[in-house]
Amino acid sequence: MSEHKSLYIYSLSEAVRNNEKDLWRESYKENCDCARTIEKAIADNYHDNVLNDCAQPIIGKYGFNRVNWVLANTVLQNKDDGRFSEDNKKWARGFHIPREDVNWHFSVESHPGLTNIFINQVRKAWQELGLFDRTNCISENNSETDYTNKVLILDPSVLKDEYKTPDDQLFLAKSGFGCHPNSRGRKVFGQFLKDGEETHFYREDFIGVIDEKYLPDWAAEKLNADKKLTVFMVEPHKVPYVAEIEDELSALQKAVGGYIEVVGNGDGTLIICNEEGKLQGLEGNRRIHDGASIIAGTFFVVGEDGENFRSLSDSETVKYMERFAEPEDISQDEVVSDMGITFYSMLLKIGENYYGKEKRTKTFSPEYYGKD
């Protein structure tokens, strides 16, 4: 498939203001060329009072975005012409084409009745793509919706034609000011649900949040799989093992038997343990930081990915299998006398109270406070 030239959707005055006049001019010339090519296609394919389907070659040459733009402009330029169907007039009004004195230059000048038939052919080809639209969203109005951790539907106009598929429209929003409806920032960071490619779009590039009843089975399965973390579980007096747990706070707390504390290992992995393990009198489990501190109660090792947890890699699993392979005999007196973990547990608690929620944050290492 040939690379289509980009469609510039803003006005000439905006182009001048943003130093994009060359982009506007190039797109305008391509619009005019597209209109003339449509006129020739209609003339060449009209025989015996029948217009043969001639839309696909035009779409292939110019792309859906430009063909739709030129045809919508044609209808808007002739909005009072009864030979264009009311359905096509309604469709055309969905395009926000800036009003310019030169718009008539890329209006198709073929017989309106035949142009109307050609529009039907293009719209049929579009519908056959099976794309998501606003009817697949949880709400027609997304102006007040927070997009964080939601599966969004991309407006297909931002996708190249080869990626105009319903699967490629699904985008998992992760962060960015654009996730928040009242923020001045517009960027939404996340990943394509189909292949995990990470990128960003602008809030206005999305139609809205998909209604779960329209979510394909493969997408639902992928979301559920992504919610599980492969971790390395370590229990007192037992050989450690690989486990899967839900990437939810309640599941993390259940795994360690209480509020969680996060201890950085300095290698892209974290130890998640019971924040109040010593205070609760839990059994000593393993020594960490070259024996300088003791963890009481069950803990697990998980990967770190920025502000999020991730599953351990195979090499990380092997590393901690070797490190914590042998259970340790740690007396309760040793647990009570050890103040390292207790000390920065208290600091983490202060941090949580400050932010008003339990945080996924690294604790300060004992060395930071001068503890050997």
Average pLDDT of the residues in 328-355:
58
Least confident of 12-21, 72-81, 110-119, 260-269: 260-269
At residue 308, the pLDDT reads 79
pLDDT bracket for residue 291 (50, 70, 90): confident
One-letter-per-residue 3-state SS of the chain: CCCCCCCCCCCHHHHHHCCCHHHHHHHHHHHHHHHHHHHHHHHHHEECCEECCCHHHHHHHHHHHHHHHHHHHHHHHCCCCCCCCHHHHHHHCCCCCCCCCCHHHHCCCCCHHHHHHHHHHHHHHHHCCCCCCHHHECCCCCCCCCCCCCEEEECHHHCCHHHCCHHHHEEEEEECHHHCCCCCCCEEEEEECCCCCEEEEEHHHEEEEECHHHCCHHHHHHHHHHCEEEEEEECCCCCCEEEEEECCHHHHHHHHCCCEEEEECCCCEEEEEECCCCCCCCCEEEEECCCCEEEECCEEEEEEECCEEECCCHHHHHHHHHHCCCCCCCCHHHHHHCCHHHHHHHHHHHHHHHHCCCCCCCCCCHHHHCCC
pLDDT in tens, 343-356: 444 344 333 433 33
pLDDT in tens, 304-319: 877 778 888 888 999 9
**Identity of residue 190:** G
pLDDT in tens, 143-174: 788 998 899 999 999 999 999 999 999 999 98
Residue 19 pLDDT > 50 = yes
Average pLDDT of the residues in 76-85:
96
pLDDT bracket for residue 140 (50, 70, 90): low
Average pLDDT of the residues in 253-282:
89
Average pLDDT of the residues in 59-85:
97
Angular region, 270: left φ>0, alpha ψ -120 to 50, beta rest: beta
At residue 231, the pLDDT reads 92
Domain ranges of the chain: 12-127, 134-218, 227-369
Higher pLDDT among residues 272 and 361, named by residue: 272
At residue 344, the pLDDT reads 43
At residue 159, the pLDDT reads 94
How far is Cα 275 from Cα 257, in angstroms, rounded to an integer?
9
At residue 353, the pLDDT reads 37
At residue 2, the pLDDT reads 62
Residue 199 pLDDT > 90 = yes
Least confident of 43-52, 292-301, 359-368: 359-368
Q: Give me the chain's average pLDDT, please.
A: 86
Average pLDDT of the residues in 180-201:
90
